[in-house]
Amino acid sequence: MKTVQDYIRTIVDFPHEGIMFRDVTTLFADPRGFRIAVDQMLHPYAGLEIDKVVGLEARGFILGGAIAHQLSVGFVPIRKKGKLPGATISQAYTLEYGEAIVEVHDDAIKAGEKILLVDDLLATGGTAEAGIKLVERLGGEIISCAFVIDLPDLGGRKRLEAMGMDVHALCAFDGD
C-alpha cells in the first residue's frame, strides 16, 4: 500500500542549486493520494472541538479547504500582504533572503475559537509562526498545527513546539 510520501515528487536543484524541492502537486493530482493525505491529517483531531481551519498561502489553502469541508467548519486564509480585500492585520517574518508579511482579515476569527492551522510543508517554521501570531492576536486558540511534510533538519517543528504548539506531520524528509 502506498503512503503519502510515495506520492510526493522530489525535484533536484529547485528553486536553487542544492535544494531538494518536495513537490506536493503530484500528491494533490492523484485522487487516492489526496484522499489519504486529507484523511490522515484529520485523524489526530477526531472528536476534538475545532471551530475553524486556517490555511497558509498557498498550498495550505488546498489542504485547509478540504479539511474544513470534512469537519464542517469554516476556512480562513492567511495570505501574502495585499491579497485580501477587507480590513486586515499583518505579521512580518524573516525569510532566507529578507522579510515577508502575511495578513488575515481582522474579523475572520473570534476570541476563543479553536483553530487548526494547516500547510503543506514545515521547514524553518517562519510562516507558521507568523500565522500563529495572527490567530492569537485575534483571540483564537491554536489547538494544533498540521502539515503533510516536515523537514526536521530545518528546525521548524522545534521552533513551533518551543511556542507551546502541538505539531503533526504525515511524513518527514531528511535534509533540506
Sheet with 52-56, strands from edge to edge, namely 88-95, 98-105, 74-80, 52-56, 114-122, 141-150, 167-172
Catalytic residues: 59, 96
Q: How many helices (H) and strands (E) does the chain have?
A: 5, 9
- Cα 112 to Cα 132: distance, rounded to the nearest angstrom: 14
Phi-psi region of 32 (alpha: psi -120 to 50; beta: other; left: phi over 0): alpha
